[in-house]
Amino acid sequence: MLGFAPGTPASQIVERARAAGIKLSIAHVYSIRTAARARAKTRGLKAPAAPPARSVAKPIRPVSRPAPRIGSLEERYVDLCLDMGLARAGELLGRLRERVRAIALR
């Protein structure tokens, strides 16, 4: 039964099994498929794909966010410097420059 394509309807598999003299139910087909996917997942293999859904769903539209403008980032930086004080901002900027130089010299 695992030799059938993943999209083969369970009813068609049951019919072919009956023709071959094998008693099989649709529920049994689904449980075998579920077990096969679980085995493949635990072994790190790609599990057989389930048949595509027949219902029509609305496509999901991605949310687009405008990229931050460089000017707005600069404005935020200036505001932060003014909030903490220019002396403290200068100290932090000096420490940042030293770290960047240290990384560049490695």
Q: For residue range 67-98, list pLDDT tens digits in order.
A: 666 677 788 878 888 888 888 888 888 998 99
Confidence band (pLDDT; 50, 70, 90) for 46?
A: low
66 within domain boundaries: no
Instruction: With respect to residue 57, please indicate whether it lies within any of the assigned structural domains.
Output: no
Same domain for 44 and 83, yes or no, is no
> What is the count of structural domains for the chain?
2
Q: In this structure, are 5 and 47 located in the same domain? A: yes
Crossing angle for the helix pair 70-84 and 86-105, nearest 10 degrees?
Answer: 120
61 belongs to a structural domain: no
Q: In this predicted structure, what is the pLDDT of residue 53?
A: 61
Structural domain of 14: 1-51
**Range with the lowest mean pLDDT among 4-8, 12-16, 51-55, 95-99?**
51-55
| Strand, coil or helix: 104 | helix
Residue 63 lies in a domain: no
Q: Kindly state whether residues 4 and 47 are assigned to the same domain.
A: yes
Same domain, 11 and 46: yes
